[in-house]
Amino acid sequence: MDELVESILDYIRKPYTDHAVMINGEWGSGKTYFWNNKVRSKIETTEINGKRYRTIYMSLYGISNLDDISKKIFMEMNPNINKSIKKILDSRNMSSIPEYVKTGLDMANSFGIMQANEKVDFSKFFEMDDKVLCFDDLERANVDVIDVLGYINNFVEHDHIKTIIICNEKELSKKLKSTNVEMKTFIATYILSHEGKIRPETPENEAALLPATTDADEENVEIEKPMVEQIEDTIEHIFDKANDYERIKEKLIGETFEYVPEFNYIINGVLMRYEANPDLILFLRKNSSLIVQTFNRSGTRNLRILKHALNDFQKIFEITKQEYPDVQDVVLKSLLIFTIAVSFEIKAGKITKDKLMDINSLEEYKMILVASKLMKDNKQFYIKEFDNNYYFTFKTDYRFFKFVEHYVRTRIFDMRIFRADMEAIVSEDAAGHVPSYKRLLTEDYWKIEDNEFNQIITETLEDVKAGKLQLIEYLKLYVILNFFVQKGLLDIDMEFLKLTFINGMNMAAANSKYCDNVESYLDGIEIERDDNNISYIYEHFNNLNLQTKEKEYINISKEFFEMIPDKMERLSEVFSEKHLDVPIMKYYNMNTLFERILMLNNEDVVLLKDLMFARYSKAYDAENEERNLRLLKQTMEEYIRGKIPTIKIVLIEDFIKVLDKILLEKKPAKKRGRKKKSEVTEEE
């Protein structure tokens, strides 16, 4: 890096120059940091040719016209401008004013530096022989790059001002080729059509815009390029701004320096911002090698993302230490790696956000890894690559934190998710022993030593028999044990194994949670349903899983409606927002519901009516809930029939009208996946 600084100083030392120099590097790689902390200070503190130079820095980011650049130069050169310097004697003829002065003339007028007919000595006002100009973010200007370079050329060629341009030429090249694509395509297509190389689009010609052919013998016809390639070639020939850029660059830029940052130096500079937090800075400096390693494995040079990641980690570190002061150091290191890794994966656009968004816990993350490695589930290829990349040399059980992923993706630090993640870690540490079946589900099997394998299998089968697993874990574990049998690692009667799992699943169903993504898990597993035993276990799981779904829905419905009549405030918070995909009306007795409604005061009857309408405006399962909605309506109609009107009777009549409206405007239930043939109606 010092060699690069010295090369730039060599350019400044030259008594006469008619060219600029360029510093080229990737976005976020620290080019501006390098200028501010290495180059700028060196120029301004070194006496060169008997004088001290002053630097003037301008970012071109967002500049929309060349006058904006003039304004920036003017303000940088005259930060303390005031009326006392309005009148300066000994003017110079306009034709001898330097080019850079002409660009600032209008600015001088607009700031009141000169009055009408007043002559100003611009040579004193704009002395530039001891200035170095630096233009940053060339590729981010909203002005044509060719125009910007032509503007800068005035300073360099005519006035010989030392000038440094900082940019990302790779992004600049993309920008030059991607501007006004629709207009360029239209003109290129018109030209090719006019030349007879592609056919004009007409109603009679269904082969419009195909390469033109002749009646010549097909063997003698030269194969033409596809139409898309012809259009691209024409665009490049007519509009190739890249060629214009290369021409003006050759004229303007004398030297181009490739900026390859010294990350250790820069990262140490980045860490200095955390000096106010002694615990954090001590931790970061002690683990700077982890930061550099994770940064390098991101495959980018974007220091800006790293800075954002470390800012996020500051909050994560402080809250974690506050809530869990005795947290293990290995957990904090894992948090550091994961925060940086997720930041690069998401913010550098390497993945779509749902790749990690769909994973809800560390345990689920580990199970996916087992599926991707052991069962060759190629659908989870990304997760396996992510894990292999960032945790290749750092061995830890803590490789996924949902609250961190959520924070980086949404910018919301969810304390509920944070505590769920951390409590899972704390409880696992307190237990001190991971059940054997959990090891099989979440660890690579080759990490198990030969002398402990049989013991792990024995303990696993005991837990299977006792119904200690979740239903989805039974399905996953059976596939793993089947794999062991195929590999010759496990000698067991398959019929006995199948019956052991069936009995265990029957016991586990009472305490298992419903799993709604079974198909996505099984897709891609090569050894799945070709095996009759696996097919049988899968079908049995499916039946039990549906039963748990019914039980779960019954509990949700009970939770909702038993808030009536005493917890209406709480009901109003969740009724139209929570569990919109659950057909709650199907799983609750409508007579009981109406009895609860009658216990409400009049105001709360109106509230419940409005909540019902709001909920069913958003979601309505026509197939599953229509029957019970009609039953509730019928119960209400029977209750008010023949009764003398009271306020509550009138309100129930209004409730009936809302139910009618819901039933009239009901939407068909959304079904996941493709329709089976038996589900297709006659209209379709």
Confidence of residue 121 (pLDDT cuts 50, 70, 90): very low
Angle value at C-alpha 119, between 114 and 123, nearest 5 degrees: 95
Burial state string for 603-640 with b = 16 or more CB within 10 A and e = fewer than 16: ebbebbbebbeebbeebbbeebbbebbebbbeebeeeb
Task: Give which of 466, 462, 465, 464 is closest to 476, Cα–Cα.
Answer: 464
Task: Give which of 461, 493, 483 is closest to 474, Cα–Cα.
Answer: 461
Radius of gyration of the chain (CA): 36
What's the whole-number average pLDDT of the chain? Answer: 79
Q: What are phi and psi of 612, to 5 degrees?
A: -60, -45
First to last CA, the chain: 70
**Percent of the chain scored above 70 by pLDDT?**
73
pLDDT tens figures, 57-97: 988 888 888 887 877 777 777 655 533 333 433 443 333 33
Residues 6+ apart with CB under 8 A from 209: 189, 198, 199, 201, 227
In angstroms, the CA 88 to CA 675 distance is 85
Q: Is the dihedral of CA 622, 626, 628, 629 positive or negative?
A: positive
Give yes or no for residue 393 having a pLDDT over 70.
yes
In angstroms, the CA 142 to CA 650 distance is 65
Strands 51-52 and 47-48: what pairing? antiparallel
Residues 6+ apart with CB under 8 A from 319: 413, 418
In angstroms, the CA 451 to CA 453 distance is 6
Per-residue model confidence (pLDDT) at position 431? 56
Q: Which of 88-97, 182-191, 488-497 has the lowest mean pLDDT?
A: 88-97
Which residue blocks in 198-323 are alpha helix, DSSP H?
A: 227-239, 241-252, 263-271, 278-286, 288-297, 303-323
Tokens of 316: 């994560």
* Mean pLDDT value across residues 601-630: 84
Look up residue 535 and give its amino acid. S
**Bond into 98 cis (ω within 30):** no
Confidence of residue 678 (pLDDT cuts 50, 70, 90): very low
Q: Is the dihedral of CA 240, 242, 245, 246 positive or negative?
A: negative
Look up residue 190 and give its amino acid. Y
* Mean pLDDT value across residues 355-381: 76
CATH number attached to the domain at 2-175: 3.40.50
Residue 350 CB neighbours (<10 A): 14
Burial state string for 465-489 with b = 16 or more CB within 10 A and e = fewer than 16: eebbbbbbbbbbbbbbbbbbbeeee
Give yes or no for residue 220 having a pLDDT over 70.
no
Phi-psi region of 401 (alpha: psi -120 to 50; beta: other; left: phi over 0): beta
Per-residue model confidence (pLDDT) at position 214? 47
Give yes or no for residue 325 having a pLDDT over 70.
yes
Tokens of 620: 């309505």
The helix or strand, by DSSP H or E, that contains position 134, with its residue range, turns out to be strand 131-136
Domain ranges of the chain: 2-175, 264-432, 468-549, 562-664
pLDDT tens figures, 435-448: 899 888 888 788 88
Residue 528 burial class via C-beta count within 10 angstroms: exposed 0-12, middle 13-18, buried 19 and up: middle
Tokens of 20: 């600029």
Task: Give which of 350, 324, 348 is closest to 335, Cα–Cα.
Answer: 324
**Whole-model pTM over 0.85:** no
Contact 459, 436 (CB under 8 A): yes
In angstroms, the CA 451 to CA 430 distance is 26
Confidence of residue 127 (pLDDT cuts 50, 70, 90): low
